Amino acid sequence: MMPRTLRATAVLLASLLWAGTASAHSDDYLDTMQAPHGGQLRMAGAHHLELVLAPSDAPPAQRPVRVYLTDHAGAAQPTAGAQGSVTFLSGKRKTTIALTPGGDNVLHGTGSYTLTPQLKAVVSVTLPGQAPLQARFTPLAKPQSSQPAEHAGHRGH
């Protein structure tokens, strides 16, 4: 049996390590990172999702959208058999676009959405045999901070 003070110290250290790791993937931190495909990164469970929108000159009625799936180290995760959707919210307008696998680690779809700084998006992805992943994006909002936070416990960023 572990002495009480040693046990308390171990619990405290584990709590501090967990808290540091949990904050390492905050939206503010991810907004300071250069995403591999130029989109916005968010954490969803044990994965990172990168939302990539069409350029502003794409036809508004059929704008493409892509979501890339990686692990915390940035390694591509397969999307074969996955299902997903992205719901865009802009003012009072709500648009949902279905996403289908489109390669190694990407889901894609097309639809009508308006590119404004206030645009919000909710991405849902379900991988075969796994619980659904969900992340919220503000893809055209400017990051609040230009100073990256410490990214403890992960490699490859």
The angle subtended at Cα 69 by Cα 65 and Cα 72, nearest 5°, is 140
Which whole number is the average pLDDT over 14-37?
58
CA pseudo-torsion sign 77, 148, 31, 33: negative
Q: Is the pLDDT of residue 46 over 60?
A: yes
Query: Regarding the domain delimited by 33-137, which CATH topology (the fold level of the hierarchy) does it fall under?
Result: Immunoglobulin-like (2.60.40)
Q: Where are the domains of the chain?
A: 33-137
Q: Is the pLDDT of residue 145 over 60?
A: no
Which residues contact residue 151 at a Cβ distance below 8 angstroms, ignoring those fewer than 6 apart?
Answer: 24, 25, 29, 157
Q: Are 111 and 68 in contact (CB under 8 A)?
A: no
State residue 144's pLDDT score: 54
Q: pLDDT digit string (tens) for 51-91?
A: 999 888 888 888 999 999 999 888 999 999 999 999 999 88
Q: Indicate the residue type of 100.
A: T
Residue from 141, 125, 32 nearest 70 by CA: 125
pTM of the model: 0.74
